[in-house]
Chain A
């Protein structure tokens, strides 16, 4: 354990994120990934035949596809041996699909989420909460008043059973097909848990819906699938939080997120990711926005050893809008490769991407983004802004945007800056009585402020706290 981690252990925040529970599971799939494993998972979940078929097809694609090794400057994934991770662990609980009262959960799981502050947040500010422990949702609750309006918020396994038609139509068919990339294919084969959100027409869910994902076991893989369908003129804000304690073996998180934003609907998807620093975080997230719809992605990537995450939006309908906000913070040994993808496939579509990245102590951040404007997507506009802040000379900051413009009646702008923490700024703050650490922390808070002010308050606070945690005691 490095001295930095040692320092961090004494803080309260540390305790919130790094505690670990003894593993106790009812079922653990054997290591290694074979057709047999897939059949066992599917059977254990009592899935319909079509889902098993989709899993097997995805497995075949996974085996055929190459690792993304030819990307310039991409994280090293050579350590990721899928056969070595346990793809499917279901915690030891009686009720499949989760309980709806925290009190009914086994004590150690209850304790875990208590420490994370989830039940507290539910009382105060959320419309619904789902919590996933290892591969299965252990807690799921939706406030009654939303249930009455027909809003569905349940775990994905349950949705396969109870909302089969909706799932069958949308699950890895249009937004994220398994053929998208190797880890999407892997996800398609062994996905487990995750959330299903359905918001009926003209319904505004005015408090956020939250899911919390946690890996507690060693050598664990988590492959939750989130499917959000927002019908015409509906509105919902979904928040995803992730964390895992640290173990010696590596963990793999390969989630899949599909969002369908129908005509005039508005979906915001926020993530604060704080996986432990041995986790490979390789996700595929994609939204399809119809006419007049708005999709917003807010992502904070603090944890993981390596992250490859490029939430994407297909602006399919006229006048659809996409906004991306991403913050990446890479400390020692971390490689955060993240960005955004937007496809403008219809006229009058708009997108904005705001990215802020911070690298320190040898950490590496890379903004990798793609904006594609298809022929015929007249009067589309896109504005991309990437800013990077570097703390020291061991760190690296790359910016790799790609723009493909097939339509002439467009307004395309991309801007990026990279710089260090200004000595003068630090000096000024010090002369006003702050110590070096506090001064730098304040500068970082100021640097990401344009983004945190877009976040719901609890999230902005959490993000700031995580950054504080990252920086504490580690600055010379």
Chain B
């Protein structure tokens, strides 16, 4: 399969993309190295149990999905006071050294096959730079995908004692937007299956605070891969909100590396799958210093034939004294044809640790439903309200209002479809 994709991503393409973005030599080199590495890299890990593979990535037909030179999107960046929110070329021009310092330092481009592919081929990107001591709220990046494939890159650098809240969202453009891009000279049709790939790196400096939220609502023919990782320095906090509603198949990894003493992270997830959607959501935290704290909370609902896969990892290193690490995952099944798989994992190498995890799968609570219907609420409405209520603990963690409201609205809308 590797060779299939490879056939579609060539050195010339990579050079052309890099050239169009006016990139420095080091970045072109990094891209070409990633391209070279494709042959030797594995797909992102997926869980296997006897006789079953939880997510099948190897049968994806990337050949027909990857079309790097015809990337098209509509991007909107809402700047916030206290931070610079820059599109890729501009960022390279203004903060070349900063980018060179951090690019690939949190997510190794050669982490796996799909991150390498993304590094080699990304044609659009954003840098959010929060200088020392400043505070910014509600930085918003909206991406509308209008092409067969789109490779996106985001770098967040929050310097010492700065703070920032960010929302980055992905959706698919409507058909008119897509044909507009056709009209620009390309004959390739963008009907049918598509591929979105995004890599996010977040650098939380000493005592910095970052909350990065995402809302993925791509159309139901889009395969979606995203990989996000943050480094939290001394006393820094890097928090993630991972919202998934769209796509046909999602493979998402959200990770925090607690490298600094006293650093913290919260990884909050919400998903709602229906039809035959497949979500594979991984939350992982690496405790690599003393006095670190992690809280992983994911809540998901699946309906129709949808399938969810959750992997949560709390990895406590031998040097991570005085660790606190908690994880909760809850899945609600609304239909009998859906499937929910979960594997919360604890890997503990330091005994000075307080760690726990829990996972549940079930239906809307029958007693709650009975109570509500006995008070006169029609069953359908009662169920919807209970599902909306199920997401409340997750929504309460979201600081960017647009993200909170939109997840809430999209859940309400999907329940009433």
Please give the residue numbers on chain A whose beta carbons come within 8 Å of chain B beta carbons, in ascending order: 70, 73, 370, 372, 375, 388, 390-393, 395-421
Q: A370-B49, A403-B341, A408-B335 are in contact. Are A413 and B348 (CB under 8 A)?
A: no
The smallest C-beta distance from B47 to any residue of chain A, in angstroms, reads 7
| Residue B354 at the chain A interface, CB threshold 8 Å | yes
CB distance from B298 to the nearest CB of A (A): 14
Q: Is B347 in contact with A403, judged by CB distance below 8 angstroms?
A: no
B-side contacts of A395, CB under 8 Å: 351
Is B342 a contact of A419 with CB atoms below 8 Å? no
Mask, B66-98, CB within 8 Å of A = 1, is 000000000000000000000000000000000
- Chain B interface (Cβ < 8 Å from any Cβ of A): 47-50, 52, 54, 318, 321, 331, 333-363
The verdict on A401 contacting B344 (CB below 8 Å), with A375-B336, A415-B357, A419-B355 known, is yes
Contacts of A397 in B (CB 8 A): 346, 348
Among all A-B residue pairs, the 9 with the closest Cβ atoms: A390-B351, A408-B333, A412-B361, A399-B346, A420-B351, A417-B356, A418-B355, A415-B358, A414-B359
Contacts of B358 in A (CB 8 A): 413-416
Q: Which residue of B lies closest to A404 (CB)?
A: B341
Q: How far is the CA of A197 from the CA of B349 in the complex (A)?
A: 43
Q: CB distance B336 to A408 under 8 Å?
A: yes
Known: A401-B344, A405-B339. 11 other contacts (CB 8 A): A375-B337, A393-B352, A396-B347, A396-B348, A397-B348, A398-B345, A400-B345, A414-B342, A414-B359, A420-B351, A420-B352
Given the interface pairs A403-B341, A405-B340, A416-B344, the reply to whether A411 lies near B353 with Cβ below 8 Å is no
Question: Do B355 and A417 have beta carbons less than 8 Å apart?
Answer: yes
Q: A390-B348, A393-B318, A404-B339 are in contact. Are A420 and B356 (CB under 8 A)?
A: no
Residues in A with CB closer than 8 Å to B331 are 405
Bound CA span A406–B306, Å: 11
A410 vs B359: C-alpha distance when bound (angstroms): 13
Closest partner residue, chain A, to B337 (CB atom): A375
Which A residues are in CB contact (< 8 Å) with B321?
A: 393
**CA distance in complex: A398, B354 (Å):** 13
CB <8 Å contact, A409 and B357? no
Q: Say yes or no: B334 contacts A408, CB within 8 Å.
A: yes
A360, B141: Cα distance in complex, Å:
50
CB-based contact B350/A398 at 8 Å? no
Known: A370-B49, A409-B363. A416 touches B346 (CB 8 A): yes
Q: Would you give the shortest CB distance from A411 to chain B, in whole angstroms?
A: 5
Closest to A341 in B: B50
Is there an interface contact between B338 and A408, defined as CB atoms closer than 8 Å? Answer: yes
B361-A392 in contact (CB<8A): no
Residue of A70, A370, A388, A407 near B348 (CB, 8 A) is: A388
Nearest-CB distance from A67 to chain B (Å)?
15
Q: Assess whether B52 is in contact with A404, with CB atoms less than 8 Å apart.
A: yes
For A421, list chain B residues within 8 Å (CB): 351
**Whole-angstrom CA separation of A411 from B333 in the bound complex:** 11
- The answer for the CA separation of A46 and B49 in the assembled complex, in Å, is 39
25 contacts between A and B (CB under 8 A): A388-B348, A390-B348, A393-B351, A396-B347, A397-B346, A399-B344, A402-B341, A402-B342, A403-B343, A403-B361, A406-B339, A408-B336, A408-B363, A410-B333, A412-B360, A412-B362, A413-B358, A413-B360, A414-B357, A414-B358, A416-B346, A417-B355, A418-B346, A418-B355, A420-B353
- Is there an interface contact between A414 and B360, defined as CB atoms closer than 8 Å? yes
Question: CB-nearest residue of chain B relative to A71?
Answer: B48
B208, chain A: closest CB distance, angstroms? 29
What CA separation (Å) do A370 and B340 show in the bound complex? Answer: 13
Asked if B351 contacts A391 (CB within 8 A), the reply is yes
CA distance A420 to B352 in the complex (A): 6
Contacts of A372 in B (CB 8 A): 49
Closest to A392 in B: B351
In the bound complex, what is the Cα–Cα distance between A44 and B49 (angstroms)? 39
Report chain B residues within 8 Å CB of A410: 333, 361-363
CB distance from B323 to the nearest CB of A (A): 10
Name which residue of chain B comes closest to A403, CB basis. B342
| Contact, CB under 8 Å: A73 / B352 | no
The interface residues of chain A lying within 8 Å CB-to-CB of B54 are 404
In angstroms, Cα B362 to Cα A411, docked, is: 5
**In the assembled complex, which residues on chain A have CB atoms less than 8 Å from the CB atom of B360?**
412-414
Provided the pairs A391-B351, A396-B349, A403-B342 are in contact, do residues A418 and B356 lie with their beta carbons within 8 angstroms? yes
Q: Are B336 and A407 in contact (CB under 8 A)?
A: yes
Query: How distant is A471 from chain B, measured CB to nearest CB, in Å?
Result: 15
B399 to chain A: closest CB distance in Å?
29
Which residue of B has the minimal Cβ distance to A389?
Answer: B351
Rounded to whole Å, the gap between the CB of A424 and the closest CB of chain B is: 13
Residue of A nearest to B329 (CB): A414
Q: Separation in Å of the B390 CB from the closest CB of chain A?
A: 14
**Residues A393 and B350 in contact in the complex (CB < 8 Å), given A403-B341, A405-B341:** yes
Which residues of B lie under 8 Å from residue A418 when comparing CB positions?
346, 348, 353-356
Q: Is the CB of A399 within 8 A of B357?
A: yes
Chain B residues with CB under 8 A of A414:
342, 344, 357-360
CB distance from A319 to the nearest CB of B (A): 19
CB contacts (< 8 Å) of A396 on chain B: these are: 347-349
When chains A and B are docked, how far (Å) is the Cα of A405 from the Cα of B360? 10
B333 partner, pick from A70, A405, A417, beta carbons under 8 A: A405
Instruction: Looking at the assembled complex, report how far the CB atom of B357 sits from the nearest CB atom of chain A, in whole angstroms.
Output: 5
Q: Write out the residue numbers on chain B whose beta carbons fall within 8 Å of the beta carbon of A405.
A: 331, 333, 339-342, 361
Q: Closest CB of chain A to B276's CB: distance in Å?
A: 14
> Which of these, A70, A402, A416, A420, contacts B49 with CB under 8 Å?
A402
Complexed CA–CA distance, A390 and B354 (Å): 11
Most buried by B among A70, A370, A399: A399
B353→A390 contact, CB < 8 A: yes
- What CA separation (Å) do A413 and B362 show in the bound complex? 9
With CB as the reference atom, state the residue of chain B lying closest to A360: B351
How far is B356's CA from A388's CA once the two chains are assembled, in angstroms? 10
CB contacts (< 8 Å) of A407 on chain B: these are 336
Chain A residues, CB < 8 A from B344: 399, 401, 414, 416
Q: How far is the CA of A391 from the CA of B338 in the complex (A)?
A: 42
Residues in A with CB closer than 8 Å to B357 are 399, 414-416
